[in-house]
Chain A
Amino acid sequence: MTVNKWTAANVARRVIDNEELFILDVRNADAFADWKIEGHKFEYLNIPYFELLDGVEEILPKIPTDKDVLVVCAKEGSSVMVAEMLSEEGREVGYLEGGMKSWSSYLEPIKVADLNNGGELYQFVRLGKGCLSYMVISEGEAAIIDAVRFTDVFTSFAKEKGVEIKHVFDTHLHADHISGGRHIAAETGATYYLPPKDASEVVFDYTALTDGLNVKIGSSQIDVNALYSPGHTIGSTSFVIDNQFLLTGDILFIDSIGRPDLAGLAEDWVGDLRETLYTRYRELAEDLVVLPAHFMIIDELNEDGTVARRLGDLFKDNHGLNIEDEAEFRSTVTDNLPPQPNAYEQIRQVNMGKISPDNDEQTEMEIGPNRCAVR
């Protein structure tokens, strides 16, 4: 039997198209429990590869023959070994090229909407890490918001679309993933914006992203309006795009809200978080479509793979927007917080420009699930 090589893009298609897949994850049990490839219709078996060194006969009855089977490990090597063993037993299976490392890196661009005069809004879904980046395109120009570190994905996409990247924004100083923002700006000559309140320690030049800042994209003048919305960080800023879309950064998600503790100041910022979610956002039109910078669980994906929902619907359904009692709100977002993201302090240092780890070290820092939210 042949062993098929699957790319992360092949797996992403299965997730987005809601298709079945049987994943044999051969990493150790802790790694699997912490973080795995999530799919609506995926089934899983976790057996560490080192328990299969003497053969795979014992697990054959647990491996289905009526659906596609994909063997996954951290970097690829062990999954190839196990896939070949299964193949020798007459099973047709695949392995994931690059393992969980490549899954963590993969970005799927999905169109969210057509804007006026041929403009377009794209969401770049990083399924393995739950990061969402955005590109607004209009008549030869583009703006990017919350770009992850795989800068060539964005620059190639812009080239493909025949647009020049003019503005690059980060809604805040990220703590869970390494930003590609300033590198894209340096490469393309675009302006890089960061909220000054998050940037007191950064060691590079940037343009201040302040409340009320307005930039227009292309000759059809698609509006990108900044709205100061602190709470996840003190500088956190949202964007209203084309009067239709609200990019919330890490303040408001589909099924959760931002956590105020990743810069170490939960007690100080919880009041800002409350003010943003319960006052500032309440003053906005309910028909705005919320586009966050993260998703936490696969159920937050829409049928087309995008992560987007009407603000008015979130006011009804998102638990974090419905805690009337202020003391209870305070306790929800400061006590019993989930574990902090892997290497979040180092990641903040990278995003400030204070340390410059190589690509492998950056990959290592970003391993694991996204943990920017409180549910």
Chain B
Amino acid sequence: MNITKTLDAKGLACPMPIVKTKKAIDSINSGEVLEVLVTDKGALNDIPAWAKSGGHTVLEHKTEEDVLYFYIQKA
């Protein structure tokens, strides 16, 4: 996977992880991949739901030591 940009949203509480993810997605091109690191557990449901509503694709998601990683391909 070719990561275009990484967003570190660790330690931020809802809604900031999504607000920042949206801004970061707006700054990359269609087809490019954004990596998001987040610790707020709400993101587990909210990031996929947000991505779906915008037509973006969550290519992969994993959890390592309480950090959630999302790889989102822009629509």
A contact residues vs B (CB 8 Å cutoff): 28-31, 48-51, 53, 73-75, 77-78, 81, 364
Asked whether B15 lies within 8 Å of A77 as measured between CB atoms, the reply is: yes
Task: Answer yes or no: B19 CB below 8 A from chain A CBs.
Answer: yes
Q: In the complex the two chains form, is A28's CB within 8 Å of B14's CB?
A: no
Any A CB within 8 A of the CB of B16: yes
Question: Given A28, A81, A364, which contacts B46 in the complex, CB threshold below 8 Å?
Answer: A28
Interface residues of B in 21-37 (CB under 8 A from A): 22
In the complex, A51→B50 CA distance in Å? 7
Task: Give every chain B residue within 8 A of A29 (Cβ-Cβ).
Answer: 49
Interface of B is mostly: helix
CB closest residue in chain B, given A77? B14
CA distance A364 to B41 in the complex (A): 10
Write the nearest CB–CB distance from B14 to chain A, whole angstroms. 5
Are A50 and B53 in touch, CB under 8 angstroms?
yes
B15 touching A28, Cβ below 8 Å:
no
- Min CB–CB distance A132 → chain B (angstroms): 29
Chain A residue nearest in CB terms to B47: A50
**9 pairs of A and B residues whose beta carbons are closest in the complex:** A50-B50, A78-B15, A28-B49, A77-B14, A50-B18, A77-B13, A81-B15, A49-B15, A53-B22
Binary CB contact string for chain B from 36 to 59 against chain A (1 if under 8 A, 0 otherwise): 000001100110011001000000
- In the assembled complex, 23 residue pairs joining A and B whose CB atoms fall closer than 8 Å, in A order, are A28-B46, A29-B49, A30-B45, A31-B45, A48-B46, A48-B49, A48-B50, A48-B53, A49-B15, A49-B18, A50-B22, A50-B49, A50-B50, A50-B53, A53-B22, A73-B14, A75-B42, A77-B13, A77-B14, A77-B15, A77-B16, A78-B15, A81-B15
What band does the interface of chain B fall in when counting residues whose beta carbon is under 8 Å from A?
10 to 19
Q: Which residues of A contact B13 (CB under 8 A)?
A: 75, 77
Question: Smallest CB-CB separation from A48: which chain B residue?
Answer: B49
A-side contacts of B45, CB under 8 Å: 28, 30-31
Which residue of the partner chain B has the closest CB to A31?
B45
Q: Across the interface, do B15 and A74 meet the contact criterion of CB distance under 8 Å?
A: no
Which residues of B have CB within 8 Å of A73?
14
B18 contact set on A, CB distance < 8 A: 49-50, 53
| Nearest CB in chain A: distance from B68 CB, A | 15
Chain A residues near B42 (CB-CB < 8 A): 74-75
Docked pose: A53 CA to B18 CA in angstroms: 9
* Chain A residues within an 8 Å CB radius of B15: 49-50, 77-78, 81
Q: Which residues of A contact B46 (CB under 8 A)?
A: 28, 48, 50
Residue in A53, A78, A364 whose CB lies within 8 Å of B14: A78
The distance in angstroms between the C-alpha atoms of A31 and B16, with both chains bound, is 19
CA distance A48 to B18 in the complex (A): 11
Within 8 Å CB of A81, what residues of B? 15, 19
With both chains docked as a complex, state the minimum distance between the C-beta of B8 and any C-beta of chain A, in angstroms: 18
